[in-house]
Structure formats: C-alpha cells, structure tokens
Structure 1
Amino acid sequence: MKVFIESYGCTFNQADGQIIAGNLLENDIELVDSIDEADVVIVNTCYVKLPTEDKMTYRIQRLQKDYPDKKIIVGGCMVEIDPVKLDKIGPNVSWIGPHQLNKSADVVRATYCGEVLRQTGFSKESKVCVPKVDNDGLIHILQICEGCLGACSFCCTRFARGPLNSYPIEDIVAEAQNAIENGACEIQLTAQDTGAFGHDTGEKLSDLIKEVANLKGDFRVRVGMMHAKNILNEVDEIIDAMKHPKVYDFIHLPVQSGSDKVLSDMRRGHTISQYKEIVSKFRNGIPGITLAVDIIVGYPTESDDDFNQTVELLREIKPSLIHLSKYQHRVGAISSSLKEIPPEIMKKRSKFLSNFKQEITEEENKELVNSIQNVLVVEKGSKGGYIAKTNSYIPVIVDNVELGTFVDVKITEATSTYLKSELL
C-alpha cells in the first residue's frame, strides 16, 4: 500500500505529521509524494480558528468526492475537538488522534483493508526520540512538551492537546544532537506553550535552552511561543539562557488584548503591567530582540475603550511581528456562550489594526536598512532566491547562496514582513 500525508497548522502539528510518517516507514509502509499515487490519504488537521475548520471540512469532503477510490484517514486536532462533525461528514473515515501517533501503521493497514478504525484519547507517550521523516533536514522541529496549563476562554486546542506533558531534557537534547549531526542548522523548540515546559516535572525551560545551545555544531535555536503567565517566575533565567550566541534573539509572547478587563474575561492569568515588565526585561537583557505578539480583535466583551487600550499597548511596545485574529466562537470554548460583537464593529476594528500593524512592523524593519547582518540561509524562496534569518529571526531575501550556510549581507530594503539584501 502507498500513503500520502498532508499536514496543516502550527509547527507542532507539522512535527506530528513527521511522526506519523516515521511510524509508517518503520512498519514498511511506503510514502508517496502525491495523492494520485496513493491508496490511502492522511489529512493531519488543524482546528484553531473557524476559517481553518471550514478549510478542513471542505478538504475532507473534496477528497471524498474527487478520489472515491482512495481511503481517507483524518488526524490532528479535529479528531479530539469535533468528533461529532467529523463523523457526520465522514462516517466511513478512520481517525488517528494526536496522542495515538504510534498506532498510525495499525490504522493505515486496517483502513486499507476496508475497516474503519478510530484511535483516540489522551496518552503520556513521548514524542521525542521517535522515528520521524523530516523532508527539510535543515530545520528540525523539536517538540518539548504537549498540552498546556491554561484555561483560556476562547481556545479549543487545549481540548485536543490535553494537560501539560513535558518531555525529559535528556531526551530532547539527544534528539537535537542527532538532528545537528544529520545536517540540521536550525532547531525549533516548539509546544503549545514553551513557557509551561517543566512545570509538571520540575525541570526548567532555561536549563533546556542552555543544554541544546551548548551542543557542538554551527546552528541556531528558535524558542517557540511562551505564555506570559508561565514565565513570570523564570524570566531572568530564560533571558540569561537566550543570550547564548546560538539562540535567536526572538520571543513570541502573545498578549491577545491591551485591556486588563478583557484579559481577565479571557482567563489569560496575567495583567498588562506584568506583560510590559516581561517585555522590558527581555529588551534590556537582549537589545535588538524581535518581539512577536498575537492579538485577538473583537472578543465578545471588548468595548471601544478596551480596543483603544490594545492600540495604545501596540504603539508603546512596538512589536516587530503582529499576528492578528478576528474573534470567532470555537467548539467547546467557554466564550462561545457569549454574544459576538456586531460584524460592522469587528470589521472596522480589524481593518484599523491591520493597517496599524503594517505601519508599526515596517517602521521597525526600516531601522535595519543599510545595516550589515550575518544571516543563516534556511530555505529556498517560493518566488526565487533564498530565505535567510537574521540573528533576531527576521526573514531576509538573498541570492546566490548555499542552503545551511551563514553569510554576511547588507540590508537594502524593508517591508512589513521581510528584508531584502545584497551579498557582501
């Protein structure tokens, strides 16, 4: 039998797709590069937002219609978050829950033989040092923990990923070492919340960062998203660890709103004052650090004044990257019982922040024009050239270079999302 896998969503889910592939190869099941070649198609779903839910639903239905001779298996977050809808649109579809990846080969074999097999439910199985298929090779996604400690009112992902399950530092370092020895030049430490790492085991994120960064080799470490409330007691240690020259000067610190009232309604567990203190400490400790933030526009209890407080926060902290999302009800989320704000208000606020976001991020990037940067070339550009990363993890377009190498460039132009350069 031949299997084609397509994965959607965050880096963590991309890594889950790599584990599924690794499990299949370990069990002598062939992987192919196109649906046309496959007997079985696995759709590794994301379900974080309503537009993504619609995309996943459409994709599954389209596969069933366009490829009636193919066997379909659904994996990813949709399996645990919305099994009722999934069963409705695909009553004859098998499932692989995100905690059951070690049973992927069993599900594929059963499905190929005409059975409907659904492996779901939570597990404490480790996702570190297991077989993976990493087609990139240069960028290695390393899952450090799964689940979270949060109870955010708007989130449905936590229903799929469950309670926090941190993996041992020793195992994480061993996988990183193996990846580096096999050519990886960027190690991405990823989780639903890297800031929660070790809260269940007594280990510390700062220790993990140091141990990975101290490995031999020429590479960089990117630390993934952190929830502010979970690093309040470890900020100084994390900053100290991230000062290591092999760690990107980059922090992804979602805030979601600039209003304490809305943060409380969202059950975020921190205040704006605490958030700004964390940002200030990082910027003082690591000058030039790139700050990426997430903002949810139009939470049901967000007033005009709350929205204005968000705008003022962004104007004050001037993040280099801003990820905007319009609020929409999610399956099982507490906030889904609230009345959504009028669509015309949502549209107005979202448009304003989209324009405002571009102004802020472009302004920050323009400060780098004419500077000399040592960048790591990590991938080919979709429109030609190559994509490299500065030490502060800002994408740079560069030509005539070799993948996996460090090169010096001069920044010639800046946009709100990337830089252009010339090779020195």
Structure 2
Amino acid sequence: MKIYMETFGCTFNQADSQIMAGLLEETGGKIVKSPEEADVIIINTCYVKQPTEQKITNRIGKMQAQFPQKKLLIAGCMVDIDPEKLKKLAPQAGWIGARRINSAPEVVEAVMNGHLVRETGHGDDVKTCLPRKRSNPLVHILQICEGCLGKCSYCCTRFARGRLQSYPVSLLRAEAEQAVADGCVEIQLTAQDTAAYGKDTGENLSDLINQITSIEGDFLIRVGMMHPKNIEDDLEAIITSFKNEKVYNFLHLPLQSGSNQILSDMNRGHTVEEYLDIVNHFRTEIPELSLATDVIVGYPTEDDDAFQDTLDVIQEIYPDFLHISKYHHRPGTRSSLLPEIDHQTMKKRSRQLNDLKVDIATANNRKLRDTHQKILITDKGSKGGYIGRTNSYKTVVVEEALPGAFLDVEITHSLSTYLKGKISK
C-alpha cells in the first residue's frame, strides 16, 4: 500500500504527520513522494487562520479532481472544527481527527477495503515513543503535551486539540534519548502551549527541560511557544533551565495585542504589564536572548488607539521575530459573533506593523555583523548553501558545511530574515 501525505500548519502538526507515517510504514505501508504514485492520499490539515483554510479547501478540491480514483483521507484540525463543511467538500473521504492519529493504520486499511471510516473526538492516546519518519533526520519534534488551558475568544484550534494532556517526563526523556541516539542534533519541544506542560499532572516544564539537557550527547533544544499566563508560577525555574548550554536562547511568547482592553476582550488572561515583566526578567538573566512574538491585527474591538498601543509595545520589546496575523472569524469562536472591522483598515494596520517588524529585525541582525558565532547546521538551503542556527536561534547561511556539525563562523552580511557567515579559520 502506497501512501502520499501533505501537511499544513504548525510544528505540532508536522510531528503528527511524522508519527502517522511511522505507524503506517511499521504496518507495511510505503510513504511515497508524489500523489501519482499513491493508492491513498492523506492531507493533514490546519485550521487556525482563514487563508490557511482557503488553501486547504482548494487543495482538497484539486486532489479529488486530479485523482478521483484514489482514496482520500483528511486528518488534523479541520476534521474536528468544521465537519459539516468537510462533508460537503469531500463526501467520500475518510477522517482522522487531530487526537486520533494513532488509529491511522486501521483507518487507511479500512478505506482501502472500501469502508468509509471517520475517527474523531478527543481520545487520550499517548503520542510519545511511537514510530517516527522524520522529514529531517537531524531534527526531532518532541510533542510534550496536547490541548490547552486557554479559552481565547478567537481560537478554534482548541476545539480540535481539546483539554490539556501532558505526557510523562520519563517517556519524553526516553524519546529524546532515542532521538539523540538516532543522530538528531536539534530537539524541538512543541505543544499548543509548552508553559502549560504538567499543570494537569503535577509535573512542570523546567523539570522536563532539565531532564532532557542531562542526556549525554551534542544537541540543542528549542522550546516552543509559551502562553504568558501559564509561565509565571514557574518563571524562575524555567529561566534557570534556559541557561543550560544545550538550550537555545530563544523565547516564543505571543503578545497578540498591546492593549489591555483588547487582551481582555480576547480572554487572554494576562496584561501588557505582566507580559513585559516576563520579557524583562528573561532578558536580565539571558542578555543574548532572541524574542519571538505574535500579534493579531484587526480584532473586532480594536480601534486606532488600541492598534497604536500595539505599535508602542512592539517598539519597546524590539522582537527578533514577529508573526503577524490579520483577524478573521473562525468557526465556533466567541469573537465571530462580533462584526469584523473594515478590511482596508485592517490591511493598512498590518502593513504598518510589518514595516516596523522589518525595521526592527534589520536593526537587530545588523548588530551581529562582524561578530563570531557558534552555529549548528541543521539543513541544506533550498537555493544553495547550508542553514545553521546561532545559540539565539538566528538563521545563518554558509556556503559549505557538514549537516549536523557545530561550527564557528564570522557573520559577514545581515538581512532582516537571516545572516550570512563564513567559517572561521
């Protein structure tokens, strides 16, 4: 049985696809590189943003038109968030819900035998220590928990991922040990909210990081997105764990808005002041820290003053990475009951924020010119060269390198999105 998979969305979704591929190969399937070769096509969906939804619905339609004779399976968040739309869009497709990926082999086999199977709902399957087909043999994505504790008014992902389920530290350490033994040099801790880890089991993120950094071997850990409201009760210990030389000096802490009123309307559970306290605390203890943050532009209650507040906060925190999303209503969310703001206004604000983002990233990266950095090579560049990361997770492109190697480089050029370097003699 030959299976072709396409994945949309976040690091967590990519890990889901890698696990499904591993399970399918373990049970006799073969993962192929094109839909033409396949008996079964699996599309693993993301549904967090409206443009992504549009891209996915177009792709599902195209696959059905191009390959009507092939079996189609839809996996991921769309299955649980918008089943009615999916029924109309792909009435003959099987489903694998976001928390039911462990059942992929059974669903694929049933679909191949002519049965329409749709596995949905919030199962309690543990995704740790399962077979895995990594897309990059040097990088291991470690899912530490699934679901969240939040009730953000704009987010539909929580309807797919459900309540928080943290995986045991002992199993996560065992999976990380195996990844290092397999030759992985980067371990990415991922979740809908890594700061929520253990709040349902009595364990905590700092202990997990310390357990993984104690594994022998040369590798680095990237800790994924943390919700500000869930970091505060473990803040000191998390900062201490970040100081380990095996942890990238990289903090992904979404702001979403610089206005306390909008944060309240979003039901974020934190204030701007609390956010700034966390950032300042990290930067005091880890001066070389890179900060990544997220902002939603054009929330239904955002006026010009609220947007200016966001510009002011971004100017103050000067983030190295800024992810900007234009607000769109999402299925089932509380904010979708409110009227959307004028789309031209939203576009103008997004452009203004993006200009600030580019200016800040350019200035931050310029400071690294002519400095010497230690980088870890994790990939080959799509346009030539090799991709490495500094200790603060900045991207550096070098001409020649051995994948998986740690190198000393001199930064020769800087752009807003990456750096160029030459290997130090």
TM-score normalised per structure 1: 0.99
How far is the alpha carbon of 1:135 from its aligned partner? 3.3
Q: What residue in structure 1 maps to residue 267 of structure 2?
A: 267
How far is the alpha carbon of 1:312 from its aligned partner? 0.4
The amino acid of 1:211's aligned partner reads Q
2:143 and 2:324 map into 1 onto residues whose CA distance is 25
Q: Does the 8 Å contact 2:291/2:319 carry over to 1?
A: yes
2:30 and 2:370 map into 1 onto residues whose CA distance is 49
1:17 and 1:381 map into 2 onto residues whose CA distance is 23
Q: What residue in structure 1 maps to residue 185 of structure 2?
A: 185
What pairs up with 1:145-184 in 2 under 5 angstroms?
145-184=145-184
2:134 and 2:180 map into 1 onto residues whose CA distance is 13
Does 1:213 pair with 2:196? no
1:138 and 1:178 map into 2 onto residues whose CA distance is 12
2:345 and 2:266 map into 1 onto residues whose CA distance is 19
1:102 and 1:274 map into 2 onto residues whose CA distance is 39
1:362 and 1:195 map into 2 onto residues whose CA distance is 29
Q: What residue in structure 1 maps to residue 279 of structure 2?
A: 279
Q: Deviations over 1:16-61 (max 9, x none)?
A: 0011111111211222121111010000111110000001101111
Q: What residue in structure 2 maps to residue 309 of structure 1?
A: 309
How far is the alpha carbon of 1:288 from its aligned partner? 1.0
2:129 and 2:258 map into 1 onto residues whose CA distance is 40
How far is the alpha carbon of 1:416 from its aligned partner? 1.1
Q: Does the 8 Å contact 2:79/2:96 carry over to 1?
A: yes
Q: 1:234 aligns to what SS in structure 2?
A: helix
2:246 and 2:378 map into 1 onto residues whose CA distance is 15
Q: What residue in structure 1 maps to residue 106 of structure 2?
A: 106
2:25 and 2:350 map into 1 onto residues whose CA distance is 45
The amino acid of 1:72's aligned partner reads L
Does 1:78 pair with 2:78? yes
Q: What residue in structure 1 maps to residue 38 of structure 2?
A: 38
2:361 and 2:129 map into 1 onto residues whose CA distance is 38
Q: Deviations over 1:359-389 (max 9, x none)?
A: 0111111110000001000000010001000
Does 1:423 pair with 2:423? yes
Moved over 6 A (4+): none
Q: Deviations over 1:194-227 (max 9, x none)?
A: 0100000000100001110111000000000000
Q: 1:189 aligns to what SS in structure 2?
A: strand
Q: Does the 8 Å contact 2:4/2:34 carry over to 1?
A: yes
Does 1:337 pair with 2:352? no
Q: What residue in structure 2 maps to residue 365 of structure 1?
A: 365
1:178 and 1:295 map into 2 onto residues whose CA distance is 36
Q: Does the 8 Å contact 2:372/2:411 carry over to 1?
A: yes
TM-score normalised per structure 2: 0.99
Q: Does the 8 Å contact 2:96/2:118 carry over to 1?
A: yes
Q: Deviations over 1:341-369 (max 9, x none)?
A: 11121111111111111001111111100
1:136 and 1:359 map into 2 onto residues whose CA distance is 32
Bigger shift: 2-11 or 268-277? 2-11
Q: Does the 8 Å contact 2:255/2:295 carry over to 1?
A: yes
- Report the identity percentage: 53
Q: 2:36 aligns to what SS in structure 1?
A: coil
Q: What residue in structure 1 maps to residue 401 of structure 2?
A: 401
Q: What residue in structure 1 maps to residue 290 of structure 2?
A: 290
Q: What residue in structure 1 maps to residue 55 of structure 2?
A: 55
Q: What residue in structure 2 maps to residue 140 of structure 1?
A: 140
Q: Which runs of 5+ in 1 are unaligned?
A: none
Q: 2:270 aligns to what SS in structure 1?
A: coil
The amino acid of 2:99's aligned partner reads H
Q: Does the 8 Å contact 2:374/2:406 carry over to 1?
A: yes
Q: 2:370 aligns to what SS in structure 1?
A: coil
Count of residue correspondences: 424
Q: What residue in structure 1 maps to residue 410 of structure 2?
A: 410
Q: Which runs of 5+ in 2 are unaligned?
A: none
How far is the alpha carbon of 1:106 from its aligned partner? 1.2
Q: 1:60 aligns to what SS in structure 2?
A: helix
Q: 1:352 aligns to what SS in structure 2?
A: helix
How far is the alpha carbon of 1:186 from its aligned partner? 0.1
The amino acid of 1:73's aligned partner reads L
1:343 and 1:188 map into 2 onto residues whose CA distance is 36
The amino acid of 1:263's aligned partner reads L
2:102 and 2:157 map into 1 onto residues whose CA distance is 21
The amino acid of 1:390's aligned partner reads T
Q: What residue in structure 2 maps to residue 381 of structure 1?
A: 381
Does 1:116 pair with 2:113? no
Q: Does the 8 Å contact 2:102/2:127 carry over to 1?
A: no
1:123 and 1:68 map into 2 onto residues whose CA distance is 31
Q: Deviations over 1:68-101 (max 9, x none)?
A: 1111000010000000000001111100111111
Q: 1:232 aligns to what SS in structure 2?
A: helix
